[in-house]
Copies of this chain bind each other. A is one copy, B any other.
Amino acid sequence: VAALKKPRRVVILVKAGKPVDETIDVLAAHMEAGDMIVDGGNEWYPNTLARGEKLRPRGIRFVGMGVSGGEEGARHGPSLMPGCERDAYDALEPVLRKIAAQTDSGPCVTWCGELGAGNYVKMVHNGIEYGDMQLIAEVYDVLKTLKGLDNDELSSIFAEWNRGELQSYLVEITSQIFARRDVEESGAETADFVVDKILDKTGMKGTGRWTVQEAAERSVAAPTIASALDMRIISALKEQREATAARFPAVEADAIPRVDKAQLVADLRKALYAAKICSYAQGMQLIAAAAAENEWSINLAECARIWKGGCIIRARFLDRIRAAFERSPDLPSLLLDPEFASEILDALPHWRRVVTLAVACGIPTPALSASLQYFYSVRRARLPANLTQAQRDFFGAHSYQRTDKPGDFHTEWLKHNPLAPSAAAAAGGGAASSAAE
């Protein structure tokens, strides 16, 4: 610490939780007012806020910075999502711009907002990453189960998609994964593919879970991301799935219709793209909700820009999201952007065909389906929630609003009701009781 130029700027990348506190304590003991500590871990944002509070009296400035990029990001530059006081960011920016991945939209770093906001943006990035991965897995499952595509064909399809609107790191590595042969200990390639040897149990590290919990906390619907978390959970229950599988057919094989392979591939491409739009719409809404409640200055267009390189969800598609939020910084939902709306309309017949087909055949497509259900729900001016409110008023006197006049209303549901248990008896006294209603 003593050797560093003042004000000192120290980036730590250690395991989230206690190790971060211990490292900060050791560093801070040798630091002085104006110095900065940047935590680059996947930290739960309230922990970052608490650390900032603890360091504040000493004048040490704390930065919670999301970092995405995995092994490749470590070598070629990651996407950096720092949250801190604006002037602390200004002091760090020259260094961070050099460390970050470089794209045709600039280096993948921006001021993500105040302390905590950087961790939040990274958390949602990871939730979106869960969604993207689950959507790709479902496309794989449908192609393999319905048409028996082999790994070479799958690899070609994802490579082809990677040249168009789906261009992204995850689609690219998917094509590469399907091309990878298994290798014996001797070093000799086998005829098998690694992907076929991998056990279907996934791990996870917490950020997807946090995203789902935060979405519930902020009253933001994020069903695509939630379905991806659920599938991580269900995949891990391998033994329970095997026991359940023994009681049921694996798929409804008799229901599998003749499907043209080229048409199915084209349908899946559009379905994946539309489902992705809905998933990103959920994630962006979550960031916006947290920013509003925490008074964070988060620029959603900038979030999309810095995700364009370095990080796991990097994709051409993010240019579109950036443009949508540049056109309309307060856009409540990506589905309200005219360009995305038109793309969804274009994809809709394909997307519906994919989900109906998979549902008919019994192939799980929870994320493709959750996105579609999300779209169906938010594009509907009138939902059957009137019945839900009626039920809540019936059993709990929770009251309801009306479509024809303002105010809160409560109904005595079993008065004026031919189905009331004592309707016959009540009919006599109906006039009196209804007047009191």
Chain A residues within CB distance 8 Å of chain B: 70-72, 133-134, 136-138, 140-141, 144, 155, 159, 169-170, 173-177, 179-181, 183, 187, 189, 194-203, 209, 212-213, 216-217, 219-223, 226-227, 229-237, 240-245, 247-248, 250, 252, 255, 312, 332-333, 335-336, 338, 341, 344-345, 348, 352, 355-356, 359-360, 362-366, 369-370, 372-374, 376-392, 394-398, 400-404, 411, 413-414, 416-420, 431, 434-435, 437
A388 partner, pick from B134, B213, B348, beta carbons under 8 A: B134
Q: List 9 A-B pairs, minimum CB-CB distance, nearest first.
A: A235-B385, A245-B381, A221-B230, A364-B376, A198-B386, A70-B395, A200-B385, A137-B384, A141-B384
Q: What is the oligomeric copy number?
A: 2
Is the pair A355, B364 in contact by a Cβ cutoff of 8 Å?
Answer: no
A209 partner, pick from B155, B196, B217, B312, beta carbons under 8 A: B217
Which residue in chain B gives the minimum CB-CB distance to A195? B390
**A231-B414 Cα distance, complex, nearest whole Å:** 27
Provide the residues of chain B in CB contact with A235, threshold 8 Å. Answer: 383, 385, 388
A414 to chain B, nearest CB (A): 7
Is the pair B170, A391 in contact by a Cβ cutoff of 8 Å?
Answer: yes
**A230-B434 Cα distance, complex, nearest whole Å:** 36
Which residue in chain B gives the minimum CB-CB distance to A198? B386
Q: A373-B364, A389-B200 are in contact. Are A180 and B417 (CB under 8 A)?
A: yes
Is the pair A198, B400 in contact by a Cβ cutoff of 8 Å?
Answer: yes
Is the pair A241, B372 in contact by a Cβ cutoff of 8 Å?
Answer: no
Is the pair A385, B202 in contact by a Cβ cutoff of 8 Å?
Answer: yes
Interface centre among A242, A374, A388, A402 (most CB of B within 10 A): A388
Provide the residues of chain B in CB contact with A431, threshold 8 Å. Answer: 187
Is the pair B216, A384 in contact by a Cβ cutoff of 8 Å?
Answer: no
Provide the residues of chain B in CB contact with A226, threshold 8 Å. Answer: 212, 216, 223, 226, 230
Provide the residues of chain B in CB contact with A413, threshold 8 Å. Answer: 173, 176-177, 180, 194
Provide the residues of chain B in CB contact with A352, threshold 8 Å. Answer: 252, 255, 359-360, 362
**A253-B140 Cα distance, complex, nearest whole Å:** 31
A419 partner, pick from B71, B179, B364, B365, beta carbons under 8 A: B179
Is the pair A201, B385 in contact by a Cβ cutoff of 8 Å?
Answer: yes
Is the pair A176, B419 in contact by a Cβ cutoff of 8 Å?
Answer: yes
Provide the residues of chain B in CB contact with A240, threshold 8 Å. Answer: 332-333, 336, 378
Is the pair B176, A385 in contact by a Cβ cutoff of 8 Å?
Answer: no
Is the pair A312, B70 in contact by a Cβ cutoff of 8 Å?
Answer: no
Interface centre among A231, A250, A379, A411 (most CB of B within 10 A): A379
Q: A136-B387, A234-B221 are in contact. Are A400 and B362 (CB under 8 A)?
A: no
Interface centre among A245, A372, A392 (most CB of B within 10 A): A392
**A180-B387 Cα distance, complex, nearest whole Å:** 12
Give me 10 other A-B pairs in contact (C-beta within 8 A), A198-B387, A209-B216, A230-B374 excluded. A173-B394, A177-B387, A177-B390, A198-B390, A200-B385, A203-B392, A212-B216, A213-B216, A234-B374, A245-B379
Is the pair B362, A376 in contact by a Cβ cutoff of 8 Å?
Answer: yes
Provide the residues of chain B in CB contact with A140, threshold 8 Å. Answer: 384, 387
Is the pair A187, B394 in contact by a Cβ cutoff of 8 Å?
Answer: no
Which residue in chain B gives the minimum CB-CB distance to A132? B391
Sample of 24 A–B contacts (CB below 8 Å): A70-B395, A144-B384, A173-B394, A176-B419, A179-B418, A197-B402, A197-B403, A199-B401, A202-B392, A209-B217, A212-B226, A216-B229, A219-B236, A221-B230, A223-B227, A227-B370, A230-B374, A234-B377, A240-B336, A241-B380, A250-B382, A252-B348, A252-B352, A366-B376
A155 partner, pick from B141, B356, B401, B419, beta carbons under 8 A: B419
Which residue in chain B gives the minimum CB-CB distance to A368? B373
Provide the residues of chain B in CB contact with A197, threshold 8 Å. Answer: 402-404
**A395-B70 Cα distance, complex, nearest whole Å:** 5
